Structures are given as C-alpha cells and as structure tokens.
C-alpha cells in the first residue's frame, strides 16, 4: 500500500476542496463534500472503472461511516435543557416523521417500479 | 520526577489525544454490543457511543468544546467519506439510470413528507418557533441542514443534534419497517434510508447490500438539494398560518 493510501486520500480531499471552491464561487446551497462526490463520480465515469486502490481505501472508510457521526452527536449535551423542555414535541416529531418518511419514500419507489414493470411480461402473475 | 495523577489528568484533559481515543473506544464498545446482541436495532452503535461519551463528559465536568478538540479529527473525515460515496454510486450507475422516474417521484414525495410531518407535529405539540425551525431540515445531511436552519431562524447546533438523532432512528427502524410494508427491493430500501436518514441511513444501507448503499448515497445527495429548496418555501407557507 505505502503511499497509495496517501494518493487516494489526496484524491478525496482534492475533490472535496474543488467542491467547496465551486459551491462558494457559484453561490450554490449544496455543501462542498456533496459536490465533491459529484466530481469524483464524473472522474470515475471518464476513467471507465474504479482503480483497485480507490476501491480498497474508500471501502474501508465507508465501512466505518457511522463512527464519523459520533462527535456531532455528542453535541446533544449542549442542548440538554432545550431538549428536556420540548422533549415530547421533539421525540414525537422525530419518531413519527422518520417512520412516515421512510414508508412514503419506499412505497413511492415500489409504486413507480410497478408502473415500469407493468410493460414487461414478468410483471404479470 | 514522577508526575502525580492530578498532573497527568491536567495534561490529558487538555490534549486532543484522550478524547480522540475515547471516541474510537466508545464506538468499538457500541459496535461490540450491537454484534453481541445479534444486531438488535436498539443497540445502535452510534447511540451507545454517544450515551457513553456524554456520561463520561458530564461525570468529569468536561465541556463539549474541550471534547471536540480531540473528536474533530474523526468529525473531519465526514467530508472525504461523503466524497467516497461516489464509488458505490458509480458501480451501481446502470441500475440508477433505469430508475430515473421512480427516483424523481420518490424524492419529491419523501422530501416534502419529511419536512411537513416534522414541522406540523412539533408545532401541534407546542414547541417554540426556533425549535420548529431547527427540526424542519432534519432529514438532510448535517452541513446542509445547519445552513438551512440558520436561514429560517433555527439554532444550527440544535439542528446538528436533531439530524444525528433522525439518522439513528431511521437506521434503527428502517429495514424492519420496509420489510413489513413489502418493500424488499434493495434499491427502494436504500433510497428510503438515505432520504430519511442521510449518512447514518447510508451506513446502514451499505450493510444491507452495495445496491442499497448506492441508492442511499444518491438519495442523501438529492435530498440535501431538495430540502434546501423546499424548506424555505414550505416553512414560509406554514409559518404564515402558524405564527400570523
């Protein structure tokens, strides 16, 4: 591996950096890393395949993606008072909204797929 | 000269090393419990890690700012990790392309549902306007949600917390709920997880399959965009009615 890890990280950071600069130059409401994802995606399309090192390093990073949210989550201690005061409204809204959103999105995808599949013979019983 | 335990504590409490190590260790403990429980949703590794860390910080009287000086190195990797989501997206692009219309409809329906349901419920249960505004963009990824929150009069740091909680909740209930509704297709499951629960939902979707992970990454990116366009509009419309 050696400096290949460094190379892949340089690519990821350069995409993020380019994303941040473009978002600010054009005044886009999208954050730099999301634009960086688009930039890397376009680079992969041009390249035509995922180089092995890029696949290995990004795979390792994404396997541990949820760890990266821990520091921001600990920030819950900053708003303990406000959250306790509004605990019912906040917890009910979050729980109900997440359940409804996941259900509506998943069912919309399935419903739209049903339309598309209706044109094909395997869509019949 | 041998340092006293008090001197060692003074050094450790001020250096980023201690809180960085604690963050990784707490996550490993959470992950261990999650596996040990047979991957039960309630033993969410992120949730366990946060509970452990907040307990320790409160018990030792450490401020969040001091903790974050160490934890920021982990937090920083969110940027490059988001960029890295281009890889599963590229690998599954053929499938994504064939789902164009389904993606567009699911995005609009899901994004609007996420915003309106959260705003309506918090308002109905009597939360003040700044709390409602902080919750409105909760399904978007952290940096986008914080920006929107600030724009409509919310508290960006409260939004960050609400976004993480939304992610944890979605990754806990998402796959079970979708299976029960008969939505078993990996691409639909992934898209719903990423739309409702951004990166934490995507981390969960990547455990389901690479197809689910790719659709989840796509949903996270698209919903970030949709939320930043829809929240100012919907919040303004609902706000005229709620707080005339």
Q: The complex's ipTM?
A: 0.85
Of A44, A71, A97, the CB nearest to B68: A71
pTM greater than the 0.90 cutoff:
no
C-alpha to C-alpha distance for B44 and B103, rounded to whole angstroms: 28
Which residue from A73, A112, A25 is spatially nearest to B54, judged by alpha carbons? A73
Dihedral sign from CA coordinates of B203, A36, B118, B116? negative
A75-118, pLDDT tens digit by residue?
888 888 888 888 888 899 999 999 999 999 999 999 887 765 54
Mean pLDDT of chain A: 85
C-alpha to C-alpha distance for A90 and A98, rounded to whole angstroms: 12
Write down the pLDDT at residue B21: 93
Q: Do B121 and A93 touch (CB under 8 A)?
A: yes
Higher per-residue confidence, A118 vs B189: B189
List chain A residues with CB under 8 Å of B221: 34, 37-38
- The whole-number average pLDDT for the span B98-106 is 88
Query: Which class for B38: exposed (0-12), middle (13-18), buried (19 or more C-beta within 10 A)?
Result: exposed
Q: Do A101 and B91 touch (CB under 8 A)?
A: no
Shortest CA gap B168–chain A (Å) = 9
Q: In degrees rounded to 5, what are phi and psi of residue B33?
A: -60, -40
Most confident of A26-30, A99-103, B126-130, B225-229: A99-103
For residue B183 the two structure tokens come to 């939505």
Of A36, A73, A115, the CB nearest to B83: A36
* Chain A contacts in chain B segment 75-94 (CB below 8 A): 75, 77-91, 93
Write down the pLDDT at residue A115: 61
B192 touches A: beta carbon within 8 Å: yes
C-alpha to C-alpha distance for B15 and A89, rounded to whole angstroms: 38
B11-60, pLDDT tens digit by residue?
777 778 899 999 999 999 999 998 898 877 788 888 999 999 999 999 99
The answer to whether B163 and B186 have CB atoms below 8 angstroms apart is: no
C-alpha to C-alpha distance for B154 and B122, rounded to whole angstroms: 13
Name, in order, each residue with C-beta under 8 angstroms of A94's C-beta and a sequence gap of 6 or more: B118, B135, B138, B162, B165, B166, B169
For residue B240 the two structure tokens come to 């005229």
Residue in A50, A70, A113 to test binding to B, most B beta-carbons within 10 Å: A70
């Amino acid at each position: 591996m050696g400096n290949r890890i460094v190379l892949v990280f340089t690519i990821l950071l350069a995409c993020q950096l380019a994303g941040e600069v473009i978002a600010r130059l054009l005044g886009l409401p999208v954050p730099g890393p999301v634009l960086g994802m688009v930039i890397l995606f376009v680079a992969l399309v041009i390249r035509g395949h995922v180089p092995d090192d890029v696949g290995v390093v990004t795979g390792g990073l994404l396997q541990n993606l949820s760890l990266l949210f821990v520091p921001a989550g600990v920030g819950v201690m900053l708003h303990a008072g406000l959250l306790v005061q509004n605990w019912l409204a906040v917890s009910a809204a979050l729980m109900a909204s997440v359940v409804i959103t996941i259900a509506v999105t998943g069912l919309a995808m399935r419903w739209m797929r049903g339309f598309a599949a209706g044109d094909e013979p395997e869509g019949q019983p | 000269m041998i340092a006293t335990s008090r001197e060692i504590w003074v050094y450790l409490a001020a250096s980023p090393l201690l809180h960085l190590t604690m963050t990784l260790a707490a996550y490993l403990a959470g992950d261990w419990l999650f596996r040990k429980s047979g991957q039960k949703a309630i033993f969410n590794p992120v949730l366990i890690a946060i509970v452990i860390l907040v307990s320790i910080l409160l018990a030792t009287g450490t401020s969040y700012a001091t903790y974050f000086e160490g934890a920021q190195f982990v937090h920083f990797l969110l940027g490059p990790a988001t960029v890295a989501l281009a890889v599963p997206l590229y690998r599954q692009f053929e499938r994504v392309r064939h789902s164009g219309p389904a993606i567009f409809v699911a995005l609009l329906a899901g994004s609007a549902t996420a915003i309106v349901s959260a705003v309506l419920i918090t308002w109905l249960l009597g939360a003040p306007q700044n709390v409602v505004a902080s919750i409105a963009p909760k399904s978007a990824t952290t940096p986008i949600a914080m920006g929107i929150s600030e724009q409509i009069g919310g508290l960006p740091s409260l939004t960050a917390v609400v976004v993480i909680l939304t992610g944890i909740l979605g990754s806990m209930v998402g796959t079970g709920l979708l299976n029960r509704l008969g939505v078993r297709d990996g691409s639909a499951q992934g898209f719903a997880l990423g739309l409702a629960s951004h990166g934490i939902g995507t981390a969960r979707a990547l455990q389901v399959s690479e197809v689910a992970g790719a659709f989840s990454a796509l949903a996270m990116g698209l919903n970030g965009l949709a939320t930043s366009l829809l929240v100012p509009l919907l919040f303004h419309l609902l706000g005229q009615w709620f707080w005339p």
